[in-house]
Structures are given as structure tokens and as C-alpha cells.
A and B are shown apart, each in its own frame.
Chain A
């Protein structure tokens, strides 16, 4: 995907704050028209990275290439890229229309063409035309979001950056806006680079995701790859609930779990693996009638259950450990709390990670 000719390339980009590397030797290619999301917890360096890409910070070392041209020292106002900020940074002293027209005004366009373009963008973002003269401060959260995006699009950037713009919005509206954003991406065919701390949000929208931790990119891949084949415990734990068992590889090729004492049949073992974690997503765990019904089984006690909308999650206590098991509502488990249960999974549904 990124092989053809990347619109944006990072070559061992590093940013130091004193002795601390906020962004540490990152290599990355982003393809034309891609929706690329960088995910990481706060402090992982993702905002610093985005600020360098947008031209508001310069890397300490390494190169940033836009269509093959080095843009390290090109300031933000000269870069053909544009950012939607976390706070949105709408100009509070301007109307919706004036906000959207700002980059056009800066460019010296005449008022008539500015207005025409602004109204066109408002249409695209489903903002009523009557909002043209509305004070931005009087707009709702979702409307402001659209104004900010319209303003960035008015700049006609080659790449649009997003700095967690949805983080302050309530759940329901966020879900709607995530989909809207993906639609806008499809509509405009521009390259979107998005950062967020929510892998869930990233999954919904992105073509590819890069997971960041302590200034480094830990894994880059499609949402599917990130979900089903995380390369570290860190990545696996980043989305939803997950069962992580510390395990070591025995000489006979089986895994030994210290927590439950069980000996388990492993998924394909990476070369050189001796100790690490076994990762099993809750939906791959099943309640068993007898231990032989799955490759691996442990017995425990049903401690509690949580209704998560379309799914139900069960907490099963096994020795010192706790397992989360998820079922679709239609396939809800019929056991009662404090029942003794056997849970199990097939070897192929688990993943072994070293870190």
C-alpha cells in the first residue's frame, strides 16, 4: 500500500526535549489518499510527532519528506498541510463563515469567491447555510467540529492532520462523527493523518494504524492486523478487554501458566520464544461442558456478569487469575453466579507475545 510513492515519509525522525526523546527514531511511509492513524497513550509522543509533521516543531534529527522533498524547516504557514486541533482552535471573534474563509482571506481571495467556497464546504459538511453568519461560540460541539474541518478543507491541504479532535465529545456524537469523518475522507480523497489515544476510534476510521509507545512506533498495520495479530502485550491490551496469561515454554513444546498452573497447547510459537504472554480475546473463550471440548481448558468459578449492550461479559476466577469471557446476548450463558465452570479456547485463537 505504502510502497508506490508515499506522500509523506519519515526517516529516523527524532525529537529531543533535553535528554528525553519524545519521538525516537521513527521511520514511516504514508501513502497518498490514506487514512493513517497514530494511536498511543498520553505521553507516547504522538502529539509531538504530529506537530513536527504539521510544521509547528522541527525534528532534532532525521528527515520529513513530502513527496520526496525535505520539509523539516518549512514552517507551518508554508506547508501544504493543515491541522484540526484538539481544542479545534476556532477563532471566537469570528462567525462560522469567517472562520471557514480565514485561509482564503489570508491568501487574498476576493470576498465573493470566498463566500461561495465557504457555502460549498458547509454543504459538504452538512452545516445549514443559515449558519454562515452565526457566532462560532453559539454552535454546538458537533457543529464546531464541522466548522473546524471545513476551515481546514478551505485551505485545500494535501494532507489533513487531526490532533484528537473528538476526545472531548460525548460517546454517541463521537460515534456519529467518526463515521462522518470517514465519509468525508472518501469524498475528498485527501490524505488524513489522525492521532488519538483510542484504538477503538482508530479501528473505525483508519486504513492503517501505527501504535506508539514511549516515542517509538511499536506496530504498524491494518486495523485487522492490529486487532488479530498484535505484536506486543502493549498493543493487545490497547483495545477492549483482553486476557493476558504470563507463560513459559516447556521443553515438551507446551506452555506453562504460572497463574493457573495449567499446561497449555500453544499457537504457532515465534522463533526463540521462551517466556512471555499468551493473549486471548474474551470472545474466543467458551464455556465448556467438559474439558476435552477445546484445545485448552481451565476450571473456575463464575464470579460476576456485565451487560455490554449486544454482548455480555462474564468474569471467571481461576486460581489467582481472572478471565473475561464474552458472549453475544443471543448466546448468553445460563449458569448462575458462584457456579463452578469450565472455560476453554482453541490454540489457534490465542497469540503469543514476548513483550
Chain B
């Protein structure tokens, strides 16, 4: 195409994209800066740097409890969501069946739904059923939103799955179970892995659903919110930084692993 105009347009797009990235990471940078101050209140420029608050935060039993609650919830959500969503994705993208088109749209509804309202609806529902609220009810609440998301993530992989592979395995004498174990699962593994990553991280970062459904248990985002609204300590930015960096490492590590797997397969 017109090369000069195109080059100009492309540099505009590049500059704009970088600006948006800066916009996206600016608050994270601020949080990290705030966690590195030695004084009780945040003030910029920072006059006394220090890691005191990191130490204080991690030696706090309360915070260890928070982290363990958040991780437990996220792990449970991951395991359940991936299992259910695997079959959900097969129904979404692998098979042609009568109710598929309606099913595909129904699955989207929880995603296209205000989460705070969903949290309250679940609160009311648990109350009706007579469940007392705890981290277990929070797992259930997270799943309502996360299962559909993970189903979509896995579906994208399932779409590129050639059903003839399964048929070939059947034809070569494999049982239903062997086909699943030897063909379907290994081929779809990258999708399942992405799905698990999404499930874990979305649960880890979720606030609106946790807020109304954890009862006496508290997750990291809930704690942070409570402290933000009342009783700021530099422990807030410390935990915030940990959350962000943790998510980044998990995500980059996860995608690195997928790329490495793909490369290893290509070498074979």
C-alpha cells in the first residue's frame, strides 16, 4: 500500500499503543513505589526508602492467613472449573448437536452480567438454602463466573481440533477411554493449561463475588479493599505489588511453558 502514509500511520499506532501501555501500568508502578517507603504515610517524592513494610507484612500471621485462603479458593476453583469446562468446551465447539447454538449463548450470560449483582444474588441464594458463608461458598460463587470463561478459553483450542483424530483412534481399536487419554487430552492440553491459568488468576484477583460470599473468611482483594477504605498502611501496596508480580510471573511463566512445549513438539 502507499508506503509513506502507511509508515506514518504505523508510527502513530505504535506511539499510541505504548502510551496506552504506560497508562495501564502507571498505577502498578505507583503501588510498587508506595510499598518501598519506610514511613507510615505515602508522600511523593519518597524521602525515606526501605523494605520495612515488606518485612512487617510477611511476618504478619493475619496476612499469611489471607494468602492461604486466597490460594486455597483459587486452587479449588481451578480444579473444578477445568474439569467441568473441558466437557463444556467439547459441547461448545467439538460436537454438532441440536441445542448447541442456544447452549453457546447461555454460557455467555454469566460473563455478560454485572458481577456485584451476581454476588448479591448468590448471597441471597445461599441464605435461602441455609448455607453459612465461608471460603467454600466463595469457591462456588467464583465458579459461576469462571466456568463460562474457561469454557470459552478451552473452546478456542477445541475449534482447531480435528475430530478425525478421534475417529482414527477408534478405528485403530482404541476404547472410548483410551481415545480420551491418548488423543483428545494430549492434543487439547495447551487449551486446558491456558484455561487453568485463567481460572487460577481470575479467582485470585476477584473482588465483587468474594465480597458477598466469603462470610467470615477473607481473601487478599477483600482485605485490601477494607484497608483502602479505612486504615491505610503501606502493607496495602506491599500486598498489591505481590499480587501483581505474582500474576505476571504465573502468566509469563505459563505462556513460556506453552511455547516451550510447542517448540519441543516441533523439534520431535
Contacts and interface: CB of A to CB of B under 8 A. Distances in A.
Q: Do chains A and B touch in the complex (CB under 8 A)?
A: yes
A350 to B, nearest CB: 46
B3 interface: yes
Contacts of B1: 56, 75-76
A58 interface: yes
B2 interface: yes
Nearest to A75: B2
A24 B203 CA distance: 57
A58 B2 CA distance: 9
Interface in B1-52: 1-3
Which of A56, A58, A75 gathers most chain B CB within 10 Å?
Answer: A75
Interface in A33-78: 56, 58, 73, 75-76
Nearest to A78: B2
Nearest to B4: A73
Nearest to A55: B1
Chain A facing B: main interface SS:
loop
A345 to B, nearest CB: 47
Chain B facing A: main interface SS:
loop
Interface residues of B, number: 3
A18 to B, nearest CB: 17
Interface in A73-92: 73, 75-76
Contacts of A75: 1-2
Contacts of B3: 58, 73
A75 B1 CA distance: 6
A206 to B, nearest CB: 29
Contacts of A76: 1
A22 to B, nearest CB: 17
Nearest to A74: B2
A128 B17 CA distance: 49
Contacts of B2: 75
Nearest to B2: A75
Nearest to B5: A75
Nearest to A56: B1
Contacts of A73: 3
A56 B2 CA distance: 8
A61 to B, nearest CB: 15
A75 B3 CA distance: 8
A284 to B, nearest CB: 45
A73 B2 CA distance: 8
Nearest to B3: A58
A73 B1 CA distance: 9
A10 B242 CA distance: 63
A58 B1 CA distance: 8
B228 to A, nearest CB: 47
A128 B266 CA distance: 50
B263 to A, nearest CB: 23
B133 to A, nearest CB: 50
B1 to A, nearest CB: 6
A140 B186 CA distance: 38
A106 to B, nearest CB: 16
Contacts of A58: 3
Nearest to A58: B3
A28 to B, nearest CB: 23
A173 B3 CA distance: 39
Interface in A219-257: none
A115 to B, nearest CB: 30
A56 B6 CA distance: 12
Interface string B95-108: 00000000000000
A101 to B, nearest CB: 23
Nearest to A73: B3
A45 B3 CA distance: 21
A58 B3 CA distance: 8
A195 B127 CA distance: 71
Contacts of A56: 1
A99 B165 CA distance: 39
Interface of A: 56, 58, 73, 75-76
| Top 6 A-B residue pairs of the complex, sorted by shortest distance between their CB atoms | A75-B2, A75-B1, A58-B3, A56-B1, A76-B1, A73-B3
6 contacts: A56-B1, A58-B3, A73-B3, A75-B1, A75-B2, A76-B1
